[in-house]
Structure 1
Amino acid sequence: MTAEVLPPSTLPSLPDDPFGTEVLTDPYEFHERLRAAGPVVSLPRYGLYAMGRFDEVKASLQDWQTFVSSRGAGLADFAKEKPWRPPSLLLEADPPDHTVVRTAMNGVIAPRTIRALRERFAGPAEEIADRLVERGTFDAVTDLAEAYPLQVFPDAVGLPDEGRENLLPYGALAFNAFGPDNELRRTALAQAAPVQAWIWASCQREALAPGGFGAQIWEAADRGEITHEQAPMLVRSLITAGVDTTVYGIGNTMYALASHPDQWAQVHAEPTLAKFAFDEALRWESPVQTFFRTTSRDAEVAGTVIPEGSKVLLFLGSANRDPRHWGEDADRLDIRRRAAGHVAFGMGVHQCVGQPVARMEVELVLTALARRIRRIELAGTPVPKLNNTLKGWASVPLRIEPA
């Protein structure tokens, strides 16, 4: 899966493998070199163009006409090879096709819907906070980041109870599949068949509980806003958008705050800061690190012409720490920073559709914990969870001091 259009020899070039264990585990030193090398850089290992600076990444995400998603948001170019699954109607489509389904989804995940869900999600957030504080030590990933979203979000979608253990493996599969043909991708695809079968069966009308997001998507099909063929694919997209990024987002936020007890102290003193702490944590350690685009025409970026048909790797995590945009302290976690405008959820027409739900979940559970916990610290060495697209943790052991 190597792009056929090779970058010109005059372009700054880095030999690194952005999908290698070293970079996936700790990408920040590589990001620094990527930004320093130039606004557009060649990664010859995969015949790619890459961007790591904020301005160029943001502009490319917003220019869907030039940097298209319909040829794949991963390394594979759908114009040249068959996707591993039917392409996502949201992530791997462009207007006008994308506009139709996105409009329908915006009707399902509307502000009024989020307000109605808030009460349903608040109780479990308070309960899990009580339980964890009583224990004194817990794992931010397995006991919180995975437990809370997997308790509330599948119910909101209306997914069947049986088989929900497939949700996390499916997310790992979907995000690993954006990468090259490496061990992570091969392992994920090798385990895919039963997981995909459950996901697809659960997206059908008869499997979904009345009143949930899934049923509402099917109702949009009944109204003619989308086709009935598109309905299960949009339910599938919602599952992908609503589980893993939230799990990683909560885990990364707790890791960030536990690594900076002074920042936690501020959230404890003022729990309304929880939503700002989440934005800054997303900027500081972005769950979604990379996405690909393909040029639909020759594109000039900062004086470099990227030929039509080129795969371009956008480093969202690097853009979110670019000192050119965020200032010289871009590597520092500061929950009072104006972090809004980061690209952790993407930008432009393809911005994450599940974002409002994720924000509500994290605000509720983080506020509940902030009110109950005076001090939080790492109780052991966090264990990275490697993924071709996502950055997060398999385990973050925490020790807390109750308020």
Structure 2
Amino acid sequence: MPGTAELPVCDIDVFSPAALEDPEELHRVLRGAGPVVYLSRYDVRALARHEEVHAALADWQHFESGSGVGLANFRHEEPWRPPSVLLEADPPRHDAPRRVLRDILAPSALRVLRAAWQRAAEELVEQVLTSGTGEFDAFTELACAFPLKVFPDAVGLGPYGRENLLPYGNVAFNSFGPVNDLVRADAHRVAELSAWVNAQCAREALTDDGFGARIWAAADRGDLTRAQAPLVVRSLLTAGVDTTVHGLAACLYAFATHPEQWQRLRERPELARVAFDEAVRWQSPVQTFFRTATTDVTIAGALVPEGTKILMFLGAANRDPDRWDDPDRFDLTRDPSGHVGFGMGIHQCVGQHVARLEAETLLTALAARVEHIELTATPGRHLNNTLRSWASLPVRVHRTR
């Protein structure tokens, strides 16, 4: 194949259960092999160093998302659902939906939610701390429970069926990888989950005071088409839950394994947002995304032919020792800005401020009531082709009162 001879070749199955369960060694191998590595099993180029990943994410002109952000190439393959008008689109198709969501989810627009979310976080923490012995699954009781309450409320979803959001997200993010056992395990649920999510995106299914209603109002104004509106709502529901859930779980895991950092947060609760970004850098809930070369392009002296899929390892870039000092350590004295856990450039996560607000309110509520967090057993991982996911996070907490 043209352009592969000069590249280092890696024949590791980067989507194997072992690689997904514990990716750090794979990341070290890929970073050490070179700035561009040919993955022979999947016929793709891989980028694992921060410099190249950052640059490719920001360069939508040469590395498009419109051909799919997974292994499947939409130039030749039919996607299993209509492509996302945000994640799987480039300008000009990407511009109007992005502009509408940017305004709806802007930090100034989220300030009205802060007080309600802070109360919800305090109520949840109180409930968890007073309903048992101080031992519980922090993944289920906190990292899942809080986003699945406040975010669907903000979108305008009704109270029923929210248990479908995480399984749907699991299916969606799995689909970005190969058709392996993880994809096949959920194949029987795809139609059911897709139908439920699509139904929630209709105007009549949404309350009149949430993000969803504002998206439909944008369509009424002509800022979006009426065909785009439900797809934009769907993008919120696809990308706005799983990544926050697993980012919060990463925070709680980090504090359970770095007790000195928990004390630092308790002393300075204004570090809650820094803690969330550092946890996203350290654990990278979104591990990988693909792009497709729009033309023959050279990366660090290596030719990437037009039409080639590029697999960017966000998790590897976020622990690149050439970019971060002591990158394997979770550290609240670090400035984590520049991490690529939310992407970069025009496709950078438009809902990242929502996720930060969720994390800030939950972590500050927890820090006010808990002196210490510790693991009581080995946490469980849930394997996904794209996400660094959790299944359980058993902890013991020591309350302040």
Out of 271, 275, 291, which is 2:269 matched to? 271
Structure 2 contact 281–318 (Cα < 8 Å) conserved: yes
Counterpart of 1:140 in structure 2 is 138
Is there any run of 5+ residues in structure 1 with no aligned partner, and where? Answer: none
SS at match of 1:325: coil
Find the counterpart in structure 2 of residue 163 from structure 1: 161
In structure 2, the partner of 1:175 is 173
Match of 1:257 among 249, 252, 255: 255
Aligned pair partner of 1:344 in 337, 341, 345 = 341
Match of 1:334 in 2: 331
Give 3-state SS (helix, strand or coil) of 2:186's partner: helix
- How much does 1:392 deviate? 2.1
**Counterpart selection for 1:84 from 68, 74, 80:** 80
Please say if residues 7 and 42 of structure 1, whose CA atoms lie closer than 8 Å, have aligned partners that are also in contact: no
1:186 matched to which residue of 2? Answer: 184
Q: Does 1:311 align with 2:298?
A: no
**Aligned residues, how many?**
398
Task: Indicate conservation of the 8 Å contact 2:247/2:285, yes or no.
Answer: yes
Q: Give the partner amino acid of 1:320.
A: N
Q: By how many angstroms is 1:187 displaced?
A: 1.9
SS in 2 for 1:345: coil
Q: TM-score, normalised by structure 2?
A: 0.97
Cα RMSD after superposing both structures: 1.1
Report deviation, 1:89: 0.2
Q: Which residue of 1 aligns with 2:102?
A: 106
Residue 361 in 1 paired to residue 369 in 2?
Answer: no
In the TM superposition, residue 129 of structure 1 has moved relative to its aligned partner by: 1.4
The one-letter code sitting in structure 1 at the alignment partner of 2:292 is: T
Per mean C-alpha deviation after superposition, the further-off stretch among 263-272 and 387-396 is 263-272
Indicate if the aligned counterparts of 1:7 and 1:49 stay in contact, CA closer than 8 A. Answer: no
Tell me, what secondary structure is at the counterpart of 1:276? Answer: helix
Amino acid in the other structure paired with 1:100: A
Structure 2 unaligned blocks of 5 or more: none
Aligned to 1:42, the other structure's residue is in SS state: strand
Distance 2:188 2:75 in 1: 24
State the SS of the aligned residue for 2:323. Answer: helix
Instruction: Please state how far the C-alpha of 1:133 moved relative to its aligned partner.
Output: 2.7
Please give the residue correspondences for 1:363-378 in structure 2 after superposition, counting only pairs within 5 Å. 363-378=360-375
Matched, 1:286 2:284: yes
Instruction: In structure 1, give the amino acid aligned to 2:74.
Output: F
SS of equivalent to 1:209:
coil
How far apart, CA to CA, are the structure 2 residues paired with 1:119 and 1:239? 23
TM score, norm. by length of structure 1: 0.97
Identity of matched residues, %: 55
Whether 2:245 is the aligned partner of 1:247: answer yes
Give 1:235's aligned amino acid: V
User: Counterpart amino acid of 2:334?
Assistant: R
Correspondent of 1:201 among 187, 199, 202: 199
Contact 1:61 1:348 in 2 (8 A): yes
Partner of 1:231: 229
1:31-110 aligned at under 5 Å gives the runs: 31-110=27-106
The equivalent residue for 1:391 is 388
State the shift of 1:7 in Å. Answer: 5.1
Task: In structure 2, give the amino acid aligned to 1:351.
Answer: Q
CA shift for structure 1 position 6 = 6.6
User: Which of 18, 21, 26 does residue 22 from structure 2 map onto?
Assistant: 26
